[in-house]
Amino acid sequence: MTGPLLGLYKIFVFWFLIGIKILLVIIMIRIKQRTRVASSLSHTWNNILCFRRHSSVFNILYLKATEILHLKHREREMYTCSPSNTLLLGFPSPTTKNTFKAFRDYRCIALPTGLTCGYKELSGRLSYLYSQRLSLHGKAKHHATFSTLLQSENPTTTNTDEEMDNIGIMGLDPGLEPFKDHFRQRTQQYMEQKSLIEKYEGSLEEFAQGYLKFGFNKEKDGIVYREWAPAAQSPSSWLGPSTVAISGFSVVEHFWVGFYFETEREAQIIGDFNGWDGSNHRMERDQFGVWTIKIPNSGGTSVIPHNSRVKFRFKLGNGTWVDRIPAWIKYATVDPTKFAAPYDGVYWDPSSPERYEFIHPHPPKPKSPRIYEAHVGMSSSESRINSYREFADNILPRIQANNYNTVQLMAVMEHSYYASFGYHVTNFFAVSSRSGTPEDLKYLIDKAHSLGLRVLMDVVHSHASTNVTDGLNGFDVGQSTEESYFHTGDRGYHKLWDSRLFNYANWEVLRFLLSNLKYWLEEFKFDGFRFDGVTSMLYHHHGVNMAFSGDYNEYFNEATDVDAVVYLMLANILIHNILPDATVIAEDVSGMPALGRLVSEGGVGFDYRLAMGIPDKWIDYVKNKKDEEWSVNDIMLTLTNRRYSEKCLSYAESHDQSIVGDKTIAFSLMDREIYSGMSCLTDASPTIERGIALHKMIHFITMALGGDGYLIFMGNEFGHPDWIDFPREGNEWSYEKCRRQWNLVDADHLRYKFMNAFNGAMNSLDDKFSFLASTKQIVSSSNEEDKVIVFERGDLVFVFNFHPENTYDGYKIGCDLPGKYRVALDSDAWEFGGHGRVGHNVDHFTSPEGIPGVPETNFNGRPNSLKVLSPPRTCVAYYKVEEDPDDSGDGELAGITNSGYVSLQGDFEKSASEDLSEPEAVEIEMEDASDD
């Protein structure tokens, strides 16, 4: 066929195909009408919804604009939802590469309000399709403020531009106005994700009960085990053009709705109970990749005994069988007699009396947290791993005696590599078995609650161990990210940490992580969390090679991982819904604005953020600067450089400054002499004098000026020598430096007791005056020549003299309130290893300065002043005596002890439930910086 005939033939074929496609569309519309589901054809065709192509789902490339093909795992049903109920199956051939390229990077779902759903069935087996990067269209029927939308139990998923303009955080920080679109987009995504969860799971709390469905769960007549493992299958076959059945109606043959038909899938549960032979315990897989088996009781008892080993066995695409520890396992153990032996999952279901029952309620939330960061395993004074029960009986009383109100436990989640400090988690629902059983950990937490101590857990949701044999990474066998807990490729791997990175947009990953939080709160009665590695979560670059300067453009750009931000918003909402008084802390070095603001305001929802720049500053000073080079202005600016609308936890050192290759502050200050010069039986050397004095000053000014709460790592309160070095090949697997030498602080003839006593007195001072909870913070003087910092926090006046030699007698300092002042805490007191140079029974009377209400006429901007004695390398806090004409003049305090701090005797009772939601105005003689 040549010439004109060929041209006519091509035209005929072209228009014939067009006609066929139009005819098919008409047929589909008629079929949809027969489903009797309400339709609305008012939507436009402007938007295209698509899903990433992978080996077990339909290659859906075109859907009508605001319609949804939402295949949701719930009671093994598949939902197809659409407001118009008009599904367009105008699919191109899968060989049309250009078309595929245009859509391969998008995964979206639109969810208009008033959506109705009908049950549909699709031939073949479809893997679970989850919602990602949601896009909303349409308008809400009635107006509401942004805050109301976010606080609503069932917020509408569509809203007007006017509503989204009312973002509360913008009123607090006008500097965020240029980034309003970013806040709108991430908040919109949060609202959509939460709405979908509520729609298909009932509520966020119900969604987070995955541990009651997945893993091993005991029922009356047996044990049900479920595992999400869509990759457990053999190679799939592409069937090409196929018939699609919808609601029982045959559509048409030879539609390009190509799908993969999975030819074989197989998985088993194995363990001690069946001799590790799973041939009689094969599991069934549903269309969403969830494997299930119910093992009936035998003779009224469970076939799987308590504390017996179990594993999940499944077949790879090449026919190879692999064994993995169940992802939701609640206990995992290893044979300690075998070097580098693999872990085994353990079925944990103790009966009475082995099952621990909590006795004591959660302690009330303190005005400000004073946190003792602890690692149970290394808390023994012996060269071994300590147990939960030993920690509870021996260490908790020490923490209480030092007047801390909160314990933060590290390394709780199971981690096969001990030297990872607990940060390379392998089993997220399992208690670390090195220190005992789940019941032992419950005993520890209940004991802490009985002592009035709240317990926070160091939770690691920023990454996971790459360990394939023992950990969650074993479920990643090369499948797509939609069927994995992690991202694929470079996005799924943290090169510096050698760890895997979660896909926070995946529905089952959200279920897994949110359920993990609820599990620890509900089953173990934790009082909150410290989220590790938040900076890595917030940005695609993970903070690597980033020097955050405080420029807002660094926080809100294409590098921000919005999926992770949305997860953290959901996590904080969930935690506070379960436990309203929970304390949730973010470990973030970037200083991202709004991280510590309420979700209802457009924030991420954390209660506190760690002021991570402070310890870096102290380490720099004690290691690299001579005394005369210490700048009190630089110290003051570092301590006050934070966002005052967001609460910070200050600390001079944590576990990070204690690990091998680094030194603690005490070790840096005193170096080798810390081993030989700490005896009270001889005079202290200048190095020891200086070291102890500065150790007290550094921790106290960090606490008093650096934030709204305080944290210290186990042992640093008394200047523990050495670094921390976990057993490893490089130290011949020694535990010598992986312990805490409590005998040093207990020895009455050693000077460690002085630093310990002062640390406890600092906490007692806050117990009495609640200065950490006060937002009244005024730095009245930072004198470089004198090397003296004077500031007020709450009702106290603090004087820090960093000069190595100069004593200032009659040193004039400013204050707010007139009256009589006395010493509340003195680092130079005898009981703190000082020289007792400051008189504790001396009354300091104020003098008025200038014209009241005219700061420029006052002394250092303060309306009153008093004169004090300030010896070198000392710090003193003064309180105003409340005078009563009917008493002896000592005021409301019972008296001042010889140790130099306020006695807590009397009828004082702190109110831990006081409402601090209405902060006072912050006053500070400096520019309010944007980040910490």
Q: Any idea what DSSP says for residue 863?
A: S
For residue 573, is it within any domain?
yes
- Determine the pLDDT at residue 844: 97
Dig out the tokens for 512 from the structure: 């897994």
**Token pair for residue 515?**
């359920």
**Boundary of a domain, candidates 347, 380, 396:** 347
- In angstroms, the CA 531 to CA 649 distance is 13
- Same domain for 467 and 319: no
401 in the same domain as 527: yes
Q: Are residues 875 and 828 in the same domain?
A: yes
Contact between 196 and 131 (Cβ < 8 Å): yes
Q: Cα separation of 681 and 678, whole Å?
A: 9
Query: pLDDT-derived band of residue 161, with 50, 70 and 90 as boundaries?
Result: low
Does residue 859 lie within any of the structural domains?
A: yes
Residues recognised as catalytic: 532, 587
Query: Does one domain contain both 338 and 448?
Result: no
For residue 467, the enclosing domain spans 370-545+554-583+598-609
Q: What is the pLDDT of residue 657?
A: 77
Residue burial 117-139, b: 16+ Cβ < 10 Å; e: rest: beebebebbbbbbbbbebbbbbe
183 domain residue, yes or no: no
* Alpha carbons 51 and 71: distance in angstroms, whole number: 11
CATH number of the domain residue 834 falls in = 2.60.40.1180
How many structural domains comprise the chain?
Answer: 3
Average pLDDT over residues 510-519: 98
Mean pLDDT for 105-130 is: 31
User: Quick one: average pLDDT of 395-417?
Assistant: 97
Distance, in Å, from the CA atom of 741 to the CA atom of 455, rounded to the nearest integer, reads 23
Q: Would residue 120 count as lying in a domain?
A: no
Evaluate whether residue 408 is within a structural domain: yes
**Pair of tokens at residue 141:** 């029927």
Strand, helix or coil for residue 267: strand
| Mean pLDDT confidence for 522-549 | 96
- Listed in sequence order, the DSSP H helices in 579-664 are 613-624, 632-640
Q: Which of 114-123, 147-156, 160-169 has the lowest mean pLDDT?
A: 114-123
pLDDT given at position 104:
31
Residues 300 and 412 in one domain: no
**Are 216 and 304 within 8 A, CB to CB?**
yes
Co-location of 315 and 443 in the same domain? no
For 767, 768, 810, 927, the CA distances from 909, given in Å and listed in that order, are 9, 9, 35, 37
As a whole number of angstroms, the distance between CA 374 and CA 721 comes to 16
> Do residue 856 and residue 804 come from a single domain?
yes
The CA–CA distances, whole Å, from 612 to 163, 400, 638, 642 equal 36, 25, 10, 11
Are residues 443 and 333 both part of a single domain? no
C-alpha to C-alpha distance for 452 and 443, rounded to whole angstroms: 14
Read out DSSP for 789-807? EEEEETTEEEEEE--SS--
Closest listed residue to residue 193, CA positions, set 597, 541, 510 = 510
Q: Is the alpha carbon torsion for 162, 168, 171, 174 positive or negative? A: negative
- In the prediction, which pLDDT does 248 show? 34
The SS3 call for residue 906 is: coil
3-state secondary structure of 809: strand
- State yes or no: pLDDT of 236 exceeds 60: no
What CATH number corresponds to the domain at position 331? 2.60.40.10
Tell me the CA distances in angstroms from 356 to 345, 351, 408, 508, one per residue in order.
21, 9, 21, 30
Two structure tokens written together for 714: 């186990």
Is residue 832 pLDDT above 90, yes or no? yes
In which region does residue 733 sit, left (phi positive, over 0), alpha (psi from -120 to 50) or beta (all else)?
Answer: left
What length is written for the chain? Answer: 932
pLDDT reading at 389 higher than 90: yes
Beta bridge partners of 262: 236
Query: 878 φ, ψ to 5°?
Result: -115, 145
Clarify whether residues 333 and 381 are in a common domain: no
Most confident of 56-70, 227-241, 668-682: 668-682
User: Given pLDDT bands bounded at 50, 70 and 90, which one contains residue 14?
Assistant: confident
Across the chain, mean pLDDT equals 81
> What is the C-alpha to C-alpha distance for residues 570 and 131, in angstroms, rounded to an integer?
15
Confidence (pTM): 0.80
- Show the tokens assigned to 927: 């520019």
Q: Is 163 helix (H, G, I), strand (E, B) or coil?
A: helix
Assess if residue 787 is contained within a domain: yes
User: 156 in a domain, yes or no?
Assistant: no
Asked, for residue 278, whether it belongs to a domain, the answer is yes
Contacts of 595 (CB under 8 A, 6+ apart): 534, 586, 588, 603, 604, 606, 609, 646
429 and 533 inside one domain = yes
Nearest alpha-carbon partner for 928 in 167, 172, 168 = 172
Whether the bond into 353 is cis, omega within 30 of 0 = yes
**Of 520, 490, 484, which is closest to residue 502 (Cα–Cα)?**
484
Looking at the structure, tell me whether residues 575 and 442 fall in a common domain: yes
Query: Which H or E run contains 893?
Result: none
Residue 475 to residue 506: CA distance in whole angstroms: 15
